[in-house]
Structure 1
Amino acid sequence: MKSLINKKILLGITGGIAAYKIPFLIRDIIKKGGLVKCILTEGSKEFVTPTTLKTLTKQKVYMDEFDIEEGVIPHTTLSKWPDVFVIAPATANTISKLAGGIADNLLTLVGLDTRKPVLIVPSMHENMYNNEITQKNLEILKRRGFNILEPEEGELAGGDRGKGRLPEIERIVFEIEKILEKKDFPNKKIVVTAGATREYIDPVRFISNPSTGRMGFSLAREGVLRGGDVVLISGKTFLTPPYGVNFIEVDSAEDMKTEVFKHFDDLDYLIMAAAVSDFSPSSVVQEKIKKDSFNFTLSLSQTPDILKEAGERKKHQKLVGFALETENLLKNGYKKLKEKNLDMIVINEPTKNSGFEVETNKVTIILRSGDVYRFPLLSKEEVSKIIFDLLEGL
């Protein structure tokens, strides 16, 4: 999904060795629809060339504060251009200049002149990052409203290990998206469930379904982008949890119920996107069932209906349920919404490229008011945005 379409990102690249990674950042921003311009310091040209950046961005690369064309002053023009100014990698030297109000190159001139959001991405040796002076300078910038993305732990230049690595490109892009996204759920407590539960028959066999958790993970990511405090409770999955969530992994429906109600009293929104098993074995066999156990009979019991219980217990909370329906979508969906005291139900239609194990969904959404919204096949990221847009109006 092109989440940065027509967004203007100005990249300030300083003289740290991590500058060699910036072409990959540019590539990912452009893939998401963003427009990129670059400012280079003198030192950064040792690690990445202006020609490379110009080729990738299809834009002029700016290096000289005195490069005045047709009476246009570079730093005042560039400071007004972007939606966000990203300084990556940000060296200790550049951080100290910005904190101290020193403007001796084009990058620091723009950094002090701009009134647009600024994201500082420090990258340096651990000892430099932890130095009292560097930390004090970062605190000064935070107080002035600059966004700081902390470096990661890992291998550093020279072979040392520690905190100072440039964050992964995906992490930087996420932070840019977060800065640019509207914050219509500020500090709201949001619990999202995702994936399939497992109901064990014996130590190695279980009842489950093909849910990958993509829909729930996408919803959790959207919640973080829009300012929410998100807890993601998921069945087993191969997916990497989104940045910024409190991730809890569970096995069974009973486990998921326990975790949901640990948070229930304090939450504002519960979005039950998990594919929770309807049945579990009445008892679990403690040893692996042998292939020649011809007389084995599997007795099943219903699992707890987490959403129904949430509907019975809710006070201020908004509840969102998901359902897969093959017929009478509106009738069955509205019935479930009423029976479970929901505020919204999202009905998945099991058509080609919709539902489990794919990255798209075709959904119909019914609100408590009776309003119905039908959508064509969309990416799960697009569906997530729609759900939060509708939630914001409830």
Structure 2
Amino acid sequence: MPSPSFPSPHRLRFGRRYPIPELIPSNQSPILEEFRWNKARKWDLKNIFGYINEFSGDQHGSRFIQQKLETASPEERQTVFDEVMAGDPLALVQDVFGNYVIQKMIEYGTSLQRSILTTVMEGNIFRLSLQMYGCRVIQKAIEHISLEQQSLIVAELEPRILECVRDSNGNHVVQRLIEKVPSDRLSFVASFQGNVYDLSRHPYGCRVLQRCLEHLPEEQTRTLVDELHQNAVDLMKDQFGNYVIQFLVEHGQARDRALIVSNLQGKLLPMSRHKFASNVCEKALICADPQTRRALIDEMLAIAPETITPIMTMMQDQFANYVLQRALLVAEGDQREELFNTVRQQLVNTRRVSAVVSKHVVSSKLYSFFQVLPLTSFPS
């Protein structure tokens, strides 16, 4: 005998007026249930007092609280704060939706409320920094708390700072500390010494090092930069290390830029043909002083004993052609004229030899420099 069919409890409760969504958890309060499906009612923050923690853990409830906290009165914010503290604030910090409520409380709360929320996290800073949602709350706290509490976060992370740097979540916390905390409080930077090569080649470590170079004074970064120089050529060829070297070329001191670029002189062609080092070559052409830039471009214009010139090699290479394009943009004076004429003649020669090579091997972007040889002139 078939089992009797009972109407959905949602249909019984709401009738035809409301849609029947996914099943509502049995432990969900009636007020949250109504909030989710009664869109006709005008809801205020005070309507959900007593249910703040439950709403914070719900996708729609969390968004509602976030929006209301921005314009709430001090008394309303205090009520929200009191309810969160009476529950399990550490759980909300790590919750997919709850973390956003905690962030808003930190952003719009009083200094005392921020201090108390941060105190709740103390002793768990490292664990939270490695947690997907907790790391966002830690970052928000760093932006708003006192210098004393910022220093406590630094002290708690320092013993395991390298683990934090290498973590997909933790590295963002370290970057935020470098950006927001006075450099004299960032004692953990000393832990990077002797690890610069490895950190530069790490997908997250390379970001942290760039923030160090960007925000810290030379007395803290000099030893780090010196380590970069020791391995500059290897790092240019690394998928992550090349970004650190590029940053140093663009934002570093003139002496460091000159030292980095000197590693390219005499070997611009092979470095231009490397997938990652070619990025450094482009940056060097942009940032080098005029005399050094001229010397680099002269390497491209060198007369090769073999039939294939450096220019032709670069035109046909999937990476070096971008370096050549950059040279065309930054060259000056008589050298610019010589470079343009040389490339133009190579394009003409290439088209004469093989239309297929012209169209598919030589980068089409090069033709944009020369209206006399539009890409559309080549046969399909």
Q: TM-score, normalised on structure 1? A: 0.28
State the structure with bigger RCO (CA 8 A, min sep 6), 1 or 2.
1
In terms of fraction of residues, the more helix-rich structure is 2
In terms of fraction of residues, the more strand-rich structure is 1
Query: Max radius of gyration: which structure?
Result: 2
